[in-house]
Amino acid sequence: MKNKLILPILMASAILVSCKEEMKQRNIEMTYPETVKKPVIDTLFGTEVVDNYRWLEDDRSKETEDWVKAENAVTFDYLSKIPYREQLKSRLSELWNYEKVGRPFKEGDYTYFYKNNGLQNQYVVYRKKGDSDAEVFLDPNTFSEDGTTSLGSLSFSEDGKTAAYAISEGGSDWRKIIVMDAESKLIKEDTLVDVKFSGISWYKNEGFYYSSYDKPKGSELSAKTDQHKLYYHKLGTSQKEDAVIFGAKASEKHRYVGGYVTEDNKYLVITASVSTSGNKLFIKDLEAKNNKLVTVLDHVKSDTYVTKNKGSKLYLVTNLDAPNKKVVTVDFKNPTQENWKDLIPETENVLSLSSGAGYFFAEYMVDAVSKVLQYDFEGKLIREVKLPGVGSSGGFGGKTDAKELYFSFTNYSTPGSLYKFNPKDGTYETYWKPAVDFNSDAYTSKQVFYTSKDGTKVPMIITHKKGVELNGKNPTILYGYGGFNISLTPSFSIANAVWMEQGGVYAVPNLRGGGEYGKKWHIAGTQLRKQNVFDDFIAAAEYLIENKYTSSDYLAIRGGSNGGLLVGATMTQRPELMKVALPAVGVLDMLRYHTFTAGAGWAYDYGTANDSKEMFDYLKGYSPVHNVKEGVKYPATMVTTGDHDDRVVPAHSFKFAAELQAKQTGSNPTLIRIETNAGHGAGTPVAKTIEQYSDIFGFTLFNMGFDQLPNPPKSKIKS
C-alpha cells in the first residue's frame, strides 16, 4: 500500500464557520464546525482512496480535542432548542426509578446478588448469610465521583473467602483487577493493571487465570492489539511474576485467548481465536505431574468449548458439522473429534446451553423465542420447562450441588422477572417481580415474516400500544444489528417503553448475519454477502411502510456498533427511505477498521481491504464513510459515540459526521453527539444513559415534525 500526505487545504485547526443553513420548518439556523481537510491518499489494488479526515484518528491530539468540543457545542445547542427534551428526561427518570435485582449465586457461606435501587449509576453487589439481612459487599458507585468507573467481572476462590474483581474506568476495555478478602472486604495485594478482554478464573484458593495484551505503543485507545496472552496470578505475588501460560510463542500467537478452570479444579481449558468466530481448543490436566497441553481442536473452523466434566468425561458444546450447535462427550485421554459422541444432537433450532444442580438446560431459539428443555448428564430428556409466556429466558445456571436454580423471563412489553426453579420436579415460583410504572397489558407484540430482496423470509417483532391506528403516521424506530452470530431476542427496555408511551412503534427484525437460525444464517450476512444484511433491513422498513405502521416521514433507523454500520450503510444507500438515522458507536470506515485495537478480529464477518481486489471493491462499495455523496439529501442524523471507546474507535463516527456535514444537501441536521469519559457502552452510568435517550428520542420526534410530545402524560411529566 502506498501512503502519501497532501498538504492541508485549509487551516489546521477546527474553527467554527457559519454555513448559514436554515432549518426552515424549525427556524433553527445551523452553524457547523469547519472540519479541516488534510487529504491522505492510499493506493489499494491500483485504486487511489482519498481520506480527508485521517487526522481525526489521532485521539491524543489537541486538534481532535478541539474538534470534539466544537461539534458537541453545536449538537447540544441544537438539542437545547427541542421543547420537550426535559420532559422526556423527566419521564425516563420516573420510569427508570424502580428496584432491579439480578439472579442470586452462592459463594462460600454467602448468597450474593446484584441490585440497583432505581437511579443508581451502577448496580451494587449485596450478600446475605442464611436468613440474615443483606449487606453491601461492593458498591461501584463509590469507585468514582461521576459514576464512570464500573464493575466488570467478579469471581471467587473455591472456598469463597477471596474475591477478585475487575473495574473499567471511563468505559475503557482496559481493566484493573483488585483482590479482596471477602470476609473483611479489605484489599489483599497490589492491583493488577492493563488487563483486556479477560475473565477471572480461579484455581482452588491459590490464584487465578486472566488474559491480556502487552500495553501498546502510542494510544492505548486506538493502537492495534493482536497478541493475546493467558496469565496465571498466584496470590501473594506481584503481577510482574505472573507466568504466561499460553500466547507468548510465535506458534501460539492469537488475537483472543481465554482460559478457565473446570468446577472440580481438575482441568484448565484454553481457547484461542484469530477472529470473533472460530476457536482452537486445548486442555490441561492440572492434577497430573506431566501436565502438558492436550489439543482437542487444532483449527478455527468451529466454535467449541468445554461446558462441564464428570471425572475424565468432557462435555463439549460445538457447531462443528452442526450449524445450530449440539452437545458431545469425549474422554480426556482421547479428546479429538473422531472420538466425540453426540449427547444432545443438533436440531433445527439454535442451542444455548447452561448447567446447574446436575442437569443441562438446553435453551432453543424458535423464531427468536425461547424454548427450554432439561436433560440429565446421560442425555436423557427430563422435561420441557414451561415458561411464563412468549419471550426470552435466561439463567438456569449454577454449581453442580445447587438445590435450586434461578431464571429470568422478559419480552418487549414485559419487564424482566426472576423465578426460583426446583430442578427435581420442574416447578418454579416468582422470586422477584419489578414494580414498574408501566402497564404491559396496554401493549402488544406481533411477529411477522417479510420477504427480503432475494426472496429470503425474515422474522420481525413489532411492538406498540394496543389500538394504534395503522395510518402511516406513527413515529417508528426500526432497530437492527445483523452480525457476529448475535441474536436479538425479545427483552424489555425502559427507554423503549417511554418511546411506546408516546405512541411510538418499535420494530426489531432478525437480520441475516445474526445467530437466530444458526451458523448458516450468520454466514449469509458476512464478507461478500454483507449486502444481504442491509437488504433485509431495507425490506423491513418497506414492510412497515407498506403495511401503514409508518411512512418515510415518520421512520427512524437505529443500531449500535455493527448495528451502527447497518444504519450508516442503509442511510447512504436509501437516504429517502427514512426521516431520521441514529448510528451509534458504529463501524463506519470499512477500509481501515482492521487497523485499530482488536478490529482485525472482525475480519471473519467483514473481510479486509487488503484481502483481495474483490474484497476491497466490495467494502468500498458500502463503507459509509466512503459513500456519502455531494448533493444528496440525507435524513436527519445524530451520530453518537464515546470519546473513550477503545473497541470501535470514535474516529469512525468522527469521519462519518465530517463527511455528512460537508456534503449534506437540504435542511436536515447532521450532528454528532460525543459522550465524554465514556466507552463502547458497557458500564455507562444510568444518569448518562437517561440523558442520551432523552436526546435521541427528542431529536427523532423533533425531526418528524412534532412540536410537542405526541402523548404527554398530564400529571407525571413537567415542562
Query: Which H helix or E strand runs over 546?
Result: helix 531-546
Question: By C-alpha distance, which of 499, 476, 652, 494 is closest to 561?
Answer: 652
Segment 668-705, tens digit of pLDDT: 999 999 987 655 555 578 888 999 999 999 999 999 99
**Is the pLDDT assigned to residue 151 strictly greater than 50?**
yes
Over range 273-287, report the average pLDDT: 92
Query: Which H helix or E strand runs over 392?
Result: strand 392-395
3-state secondary structure of 257: strand
193, 172 Cβ separation under 8 angstroms: no
Quote the distance between the C-alpha of residue 101 and its chain's center: 21
Q: Looking at the chain, how many residues does it have?
A: 719
Give the DSSP letter of residue 240: G
For residues 258 and 195, give the distance between their C-alpha atoms in angstroms, rounded to a whole number: 12
For 549, the grid coordinates are 405502521
- HSE toward the beta carbon, residue 52, CA cutoff 13 A: 18
**pLDDT computed for residue 718 by the predictor:** 41
Over range 143-164, report the average pLDDT: 91
1, 43 Cβ separation under 8 angstroms: yes
Secondary structure of 642-660 in the HEC alphabet? ECCCCCCCCHHHHHHHHHH
**pLDDT computed for residue 27 by the predictor:** 58
Average of per-residue pLDDT values in the chain: 90
For residues 585 and 648, give the distance between their C-alpha atoms in angstroms, rounded to a whole number: 6
- HSE toward the beta carbon, residue 683, CA cutoff 13 A: 29
For 385, the grid coordinates are 420447562
**pLDDT computed for residue 20 by the predictor:** 35
Higher pLDDT, 16 or 190: 190
Backbone angles phi, psi at 326, to 5 degrees: -150, 170
Neighbours of 621 (CB within 10 A): 14
Segment 519-567, tens digit of pLDDT: 999 999 999 999 999 999 999 999 999 999 999 999 999 999 999 999 9
User: What percent of the chain is predicted at pLDDT more than 90?
Assistant: 77
Q: With cut-offs at 50, 70 and 90, classify the pLDDT of residue 367.
A: confident
- Look at strands 313-318 and 304-310 and give their pairing: antiparallel
For residues 446 and 547, give the distance between their C-alpha atoms in angstroms, rounded to a whole number: 13
Q: What is the CA radius of gyration of the chain?
A: 26
Over range 499-526, report the average pLDDT: 95
Q: With cut-offs at 50, 70 and 90, classify the pLDDT of residue 247.
A: very high
Burial status of residue 400 (CB atoms within 10 A of its CB: 0-12, 13-18, 19 or more): middle
Q: Residue 288: which residues within 8 A CB-CB, separation 6 or more?
A: none
**pLDDT computed for residue 502 by the predictor:** 95
Angle between helices 531-546 and 562-573 (to 10 degrees): 70
For residues 445 and 552, give the distance between their C-alpha atoms in angstroms, rounded to a whole number: 22
Give the DSSP letter of residue 261: E
Q: With cut-offs at 50, 70 and 90, classify the pLDDT of residue 7.
A: very low
3-state secondary structure of 340: coil
Q: Residue 475: which residues within 8 A CB-CB, separation 6 or more?
A: 499, 502, 503, 504, 505, 550, 554, 556, 700, 701, 704, 706, 710
**Is the pLDDT assigned to residue 147 strictly greater than 50?**
yes
Catalytic residues: 561, 680
Segment 433-480, tens digit of pLDDT: 998 888 888 999 999 999 999 999 999 999 999 999 999 999 999 999
Give the DSSP letter of residue 595: G
Q: With cut-offs at 50, 70 and 90, classify the pLDDT of residue 160.
A: very high
Q: Residue 608: which residues within 8 A CB-CB, separation 6 or more?
A: 594, 600, 615, 619
**Is the pLDDT assigned to residue 174 strictly greater than 60?**
yes
Question: By C-alpha distance, which of 458, 453, 473 is closest to 545?
Answer: 473
Angle between helices 494-501 and 85-96 (to 10 degrees): 130
For residues 54 and 655, give the distance between their C-alpha atoms in angstroms, rounded to a whole number: 8
DSSP 680-696: SSTT--HHHHHHHHHHH
**Is the pLDDT assigned to residue 588 strictly greater than 60?**
yes
For residues 431 and 103, give the distance between their C-alpha atoms in angstroms, rounded to a whole number: 9
Give the DSSP letter of residue 705: T
**pLDDT computed for residue 682 by the predictor:** 55
Q: Residue 370: which residues within 8 A CB-CB, separation 6 or more?
A: 363, 364, 387, 391, 392, 393, 489
3-state secondary structure of 524: coil
Torsion of CA 182, 185, 191, 193, to 10 degrees: 70
Query: Which H helix or E strand runs over 423?
Result: none
**Is the pLDDT assigned to residue 9 strictly greater than 60?**
no
Q: Residue 320: which residues within 8 A CB-CB, separation 6 or more?
A: 297, 301, 302, 304, 337
Backbone angles phi, psi at 710, to 5 degrees: -60, -35
Give the DSSP letter of residue 662: H
**pLDDT computed for residue 215 by the predictor:** 78
Site of grid cell 455523496: 629
For residues 604 and 279, give the distance between their C-alpha atoms in angstroms, rounded to a whole number: 12
Total-model pTM: 0.84
DSSP 141-199: GGS-TTS-EEEEEEEE-TTSSEEEEEEEETT-SEEEEEEEETTTTEE-SPPEEEEES--
Torsion of CA 563, 565, 569, 574, to 10 degrees: 30
87, 719 Cβ separation under 8 angstroms: yes
